[in-house]
Chains A and B, each alone.
Chain A
Amino acid sequence: MADTTANGPVLAADGTPLKQSLARSLRRQKMRALMLIAPLLVFVLLSFIFPIASMLFRSVENGIVQDTLPETVAALQQWDEQSGELPDEEVYAAFIRDMIIAVDNKEHTRLGSRLNYEETGMSSMFRRSGRAIGRLDPVEDAPFKEALIDIHDGWGEVGTWQTIKTHAVPLTNGYFLNAVDMQRTVDGAQAQPESKQILITLFGRTLQMSLIITGACILLGYPIAWLLANLRMRTANLLMILVLLPFWTSLLVRTSAWKVMLQQQGVINDTLVWLGLVDDAARLVIINNQIGTIIAMTHILLPFMILPMYSVMQTIPPSYTRAAKSLGATNWTAFWRVYFPQSVPGIGAGSILVFILAIGYYITPEIVGGTKGVFISNRIAYHISSSLNWGLAAALGTILLAAVLILYWAYDRIVGIDNVKLGG
């Protein structure tokens, strides 16, 4: 019992304070552990965190206007965009000087596309004017105001210059405004014209359908998971293979199979007509709409619900239900009051998994969803691969990410994340 001396700290064998030598040995251990995982850490950083961070940054990054038209942007500072009058010759001259350089570097079309997201027509205006401006001389051909308006009427409109000025900031909230059906204008944030409002609806639909799909998965998955956990080993294994089978088939194949099943001349409609349940003239429309998406996605995501439920149910000993029955509970009461509450963590884990997967799903809605059944992810894909508006795509992605994190947080507050069990 001589590990504390009467005065002063406890000393290690070599005379250094014990705390210090413990800290040193722990630090050495930690360093060694860190060295071991370092390659993996670097790999994860490079391949996962870095791309996500750059995607997030892209949703606000907007250097292109200032980089391509530096003098114009500076000159526009003097112009009062609210006045309703065209800018001075000074601005036009600066613009011509900027454009000649941009045309040389072939950068004016990129700027045109960028501004076209905000104001349709900009892209073709920049492209067409570019060739003519390239032929001008920045000194001899002055003044430029008339000349430019001659090249394209658009340069004589106040709106054009307003657009350039409002979007000249290097970091913009414009993409996020667009993502929620608003736009950045001279008068601050404004609602998009009605014809362009689509994203809020899509967000709402994505949430609503993901909830429906999660609910459907709970209803279908629970009995299956229960069977898996309660059948005899051999039968349960066979059933488990059936549950896992979809994992071994390509997602595209499964979705395409649903297309065959659900179409108006498809298997399901044929069967219903043959049974006389549905009139031949009134075949059900269950594809290329929300119903199609819900059916196909429920099927595809079902294993993600069943597996966590199963692993939780497996840990519930049968003696609980037996105890309940011996205490006088009917089968139903024993299930509802004793078994079900203990299986809730499995439902929670499955629901989170399915919901988060559903909210970001893309391929299945694309194939079976038509126009009514697509998700926000399909819009993101469209902006990434077709309209090339990556800023908007990034903003949509960021909002989606934030939504998932908020839901996760809310779930943690309400149910408690400790209550979620993914494995025994």
Chain B
Amino acid sequence: MVNPTSESAFVQFDRVQKSYDGETLVVKDLNLSMPKGEFLTMLGPSGSGKTTCLMMLAGFETATHGDILLNGTSINNIPPHKRGIGMVFQNYALFPHMTVAENLSFPLEVRKMGKSDREAKVKRALDMVQMGDFGGRRPAQLSGGQQQRIALARALVFEPELVLMDEPLGALDKQLREHMQFEITRLAHDLGITTVYVTHDQTEALTMSDRVAVFDDGRIQQLAPPDQLYEEPENSFVAQFIGENNTLTGVVKSVSGDACVITLDSGEEIDAKPVNVSQPGERTKVSIRPERVEFNKDRLNPNAHTIKAQVKEFIYMGDIFRFRLSVAGNDDFIVKTRNAPDAVKLTPGETIEIGWLAADCRALDA
């Protein structure tokens, strides 16, 4: 199976498998192709094989099976130092015995660049991450965020076309992380670098990337732009993993084109959009995003599907109100509303009617 986009692909994984111990596959049948200049994020739970994929691309692990192509040529037999891939490690891996400037000039030295060129480039790279005054310091004398920026500058200073980042912001606090997210995307776009970014923070993945690959169990569960990933998850893992999600379980009663009817385990019947169900009788998990559920009677769409719900809990979060409801046997059904003057405030114990559009209710695999 040759991917139709493989001609223009800059990075391509072609049916790649990886096993460390010869017993279990950590990466199972990975197919992925990235055009030049794309910012792609690998998102997934711990142990899903993200780092392994990155290491195979960087050349520190070899694929057990399959091909990895860079610019159309297989890199399986190219040693790491000849791949010209910049890498930011999870713990930064700044060399502790060198100063910041020496760390940055290291990749230039091994490329036998002249001293004046080196100094100019190091200075430019430091200025790029706003660390111009820190060249003489040791990594241990920098804060976590500063180290992170130096690691980024070091990965970019030799102008690689491809940069890999393995959870580079994992150790930073929220504010700094958000700042660095912005910084990294800006740099990547300004310099036109192709980036593979690994994280298990979904907000990070959604805000930074052109496309997100959701990993689980050694496979890409869905590869799509952020909005599509959030709004149109292709299976229940992705629906659960990305954002907040309400799940109702049931059996498919009938399918007709773009609509289907699901009999929930509690007996009610609801309309849904079939995503990966096709046969009546299949078990399914129905996914509805909290913000797509309406409980204000005045705003309810006439076409909406309605169902009874009992209010269990009110959670005040400042800008929004969250309510936990009991719907069709699910006690963790969440709905949200903006803290506006006309917001409806539900009281625990009350029974109300909620509704949603069949198109927002996706019938996924069980």
Contacts and interface: CB of A to CB of B under 8 A. Distances in A.
Interface of A: 317, 319-320, 322-331, 333-334, 337-338, 341-342
Given A319-B89, A333-B110, A337-B106, A326 B81 contact: yes
B110 A320 contact: no
29 contacts: A317-B93, A319-B93, A322-B58, A322-B60, A322-B80, A323-B87, A323-B93, A326-B58, A326-B59, A326-B83, A326-B85, A326-B87, A327-B86, A327-B110, A327-B155, A328-B82, A328-B84, A328-B110, A328-B111, A329-B81, A329-B106, A329-B110, A330-B110, A331-B81, A333-B110, A337-B106, A338-B95, A341-B97, A342-B97
A325 B80 contact: yes
Contacts, number: 64
A323 B111 contact: no
Given A328-B84, A328-B158, A329-B81, A323 B110 contact: no
B93 A320 contact: yes
B193 to A, nearest CB: 15
Q: Which 8 A-B pairs give the minimum distances between C-beta atoms?
A: A327-B107, A323-B93, A326-B87, A319-B93, A325-B80, A341-B97, A325-B81, A329-B110
Nearest to A326: B87
Contact of A327 (B59, B79, B97, B154): B154
Contacts of B19: none
Interface in B4-27: none
Contacts of B110: 327-330, 333
Given A319-B93, A327-B107, 6 more contacts: A317-B91, A317-B93, A322-B58, A322-B80, A324-B106, A330-B110
Contact of B96 (A322, A324, A342): A342
Nearest to A320: B93
B106 A319 contact: no
Nearest to B107: A327
Contacts of A327: 81, 86, 106-107, 110, 154-155, 158
A86 to B, nearest CB: 74
B170 to A, nearest CB: 14
A230 to B, nearest CB: 14
What is the predominant secondary structure among interface residues of chain B facing chain A? loop
Interface of B: 58-60, 79-87, 89-91, 93-97, 106-107, 110-111, 154-155, 158
Contacts of A341: 97
A322 B107 CA distance: 13
Contacts of B80: 322, 325-326
B111 to A, nearest CB: 6
Nearest to B166: A319
Nearest to A330: B81
Nearest to A338: B95
A256 B152 CA distance: 59
A61 to B, nearest CB: 50
Contacts of B84: 328
A378 to B, nearest CB: 42
A347 to B, nearest CB: 14
Contact of B86 (A324, A326, A331, A338): A326
B89 A323 contact: yes
Nearest to A341: B97
Contacts of A323: 87, 89, 93-95
Contacts of A319: 89-91, 93
A322 B81 contact: no
Contacts of A338: 95
A320 to B, nearest CB: 5
Q: B83, B96, B106, B111: which has the most chain A beta carbons within 10 Å?
A: B106
A408 B53 CA distance: 49
A6 B320 CA distance: 49
B97 A328 contact: no
B109 to A, nearest CB: 8
A184 to B, nearest CB: 52
A100 B364 CA distance: 118
Contacts of B90: 319
